[in-house]
Chain A
Amino acid sequence: MSLRIISNFKSQILNSWILGIFFFAAVTCRAQLLDALSDIGAEIGKQTGAISDKEAASIKKAGKALGKTFESITPEQEYYIGRTVGAVIVNKYRPYDNEAENHYLNALGQTLAQFSDKPETFGGYHFLMMDSNEINAFSAPGGLIFISRGMVNCCKNEDALAAVLAHEIGHVEHQHGLQAIKNSRLTTAFTVLATEGAKNFGGSDMAQLTEAFEGSINDITSTMMNSGYSRGCEREADKSAVEIMRNAGYDPNGLVAMLLEMKKQLKPGGLDFAKTHPSPDSRIEDISQWTGNYEPVKMPIKRQARFLKETGRNQ
């Protein structure tokens, strides 16, 4: 009897191994599987005379394009999407033309980015302050990050400001912007690419690509500015922020300190973070899972003096 139990146990282990291997293979090969299925389907259709060679080729091509998602966007294309998303943001919010403050923002932000899981993007991380009292911050795909003066005012020390920048780096790292692009745009873009390959684009292809590009920019900016990312995305960005801050040597309690201040300053019904982000309280609740109970940040005198000087508060 006991031998049978052992033998059953063994076969269960074996089964779970086999299942595990199949599951792994299925997950890793999803895209290839879709490609293969469209190839097989097109081939059957062609051989049974149901469709012509040309139609078969087009089915294969569309199948390949459909199998691709935002993950198939190359870092170079992500960079161009990010530049235009950034330009749309700058068009709506006036940049704050202060070289010293923007330099400080970049020294802090670019240093933090080095401690993220994605320190290198095609064009690198760059930060710009916006001359607005709204409490807002945006990150364009590829690493262009914008933060309003209203948001900087929610930060009482460098660790709090580091938290805001690290949260935005988190969105870049997880490509939340690209995930907002509708699949139909990508299907158009990848189909044009599959047809054209290495050749130069003709007029109609360029028009189609530009339309897909405009649509993609619109999907991203309307998500960022109007509807906001999903609660799951915000949680992911907050989790990354905590990790980045810990790796760099900043106190993750800075994130909670910033949210407590934001809670005081946010106006209900406002068009900024009040509209696009989960409430500070619910974010603090999530963050406490990773940071424990909130403890006020202890700030070294030199760091605080630098923060006050560089954000123009000690004049």
Chain B
Amino acid sequence: MKLFLSAFICALLLVFSAWAAESGRMMSVQVKTSPLRETPSFVGKAVSTLSYGDRVEVSATQGVWARVRTSSGTTGWMHNSALTTQRIVLKSGQETAQTRASRDELALAGKGFNSDVEAEFKKSHRNIDFTWIDKMEKIKIPPNEMEAFLKEGGVAPGEGGAR
């Protein structure tokens, strides 16, 4: 019985430490731009837009959503697929001696396969045209249009509502 009790306490401690690690944790935006939403839902109104590399402090989580505070003090919700625990160094000059010590926790923006590599690829493959890729990337459906699209088609998101 004692063993079960200690196992239960261990499990509780694990859950608590996971929760404690979640809140107050610093994370970075890992996508080009991502909206900071008023509510934890993709139809939630955007209060502002965050950019690649922006740091946020996670104060709470709710399923796949994280409540965050930006460096300017604005709070809102972000989907966890837009965030990483790594610190993103945007320019090589920003990498200090301190951050260099823990490179595994860093992602160097613009390194590896980047726009320079794409340019090199284009030079040796002039027949491959990127015009349509640039064109399709510009097609962006805003959240209010998505909501109207679902409504117009009589499509009702499943239990738990929009994620």
Contacts and interface: CB of A to CB of B under 8 A. Distances in A.
A128 interface: yes
Contacts of B117: 80, 206, 209-210, 213
Nearest to A80: B113
The A interface, classified by DSSP as helix, strand, loop or mixed, is helix
Interface string B115-133: 1111011001001111011
A302 interface: yes
B121 A214 contact: yes
Contacts of A199: 92
A261 B158 CA distance: 26
A91 B127 contact: yes
Interface string A151-185: 00000001000000000000000000000000000
A283 to B, nearest CB: 23
A62 interface: no
Contacts of B127: 91
Contacts of A216: 113
B55 interface: no
A256 to B, nearest CB: 18
Given A95-B132, A110-B146, A209-B112, A303 B155 contact: yes
Contact of A117 (B7, B42, B81, B145): B81
Contacts of B146: 107, 110-111, 114
B75 interface: no
- Chain A interface: which size bin? 35 or more
Interface in B99-154: 100, 103, 107-118, 120-121, 124, 127-130, 132-133, 136-137, 139-141, 145-146, 149-150, 152-154
Interface of B: 3, 7, 30-32, 34, 42, 52, 64, 79, 81-82, 84, 89, 92, 95, 100, 103, 107-118, 120-121, 124, 127-130, 132-133, 136-137, 139-141, 145-146, 149-150, 152-158, 160, 162-163
Given A17-B7, A122-B52, 16 more contacts: A74-B30, A75-B30, A77-B113, A77-B114, A118-B81, A121-B31, A123-B31, A124-B137, A127-B136, A198-B89, A209-B112, A213-B117, A217-B121, A249-B150, A303-B154, A306-B153
21 contacts: A76-B107, A76-B114, A80-B113, A87-B130, A87-B132, A90-B129, A103-B139, A107-B145, A122-B31, A122-B32, A122-B52, A124-B32, A144-B133, A158-B153, A193-B112, A196-B111, A197-B100, A217-B121, A300-B153, A300-B154, A302-B154
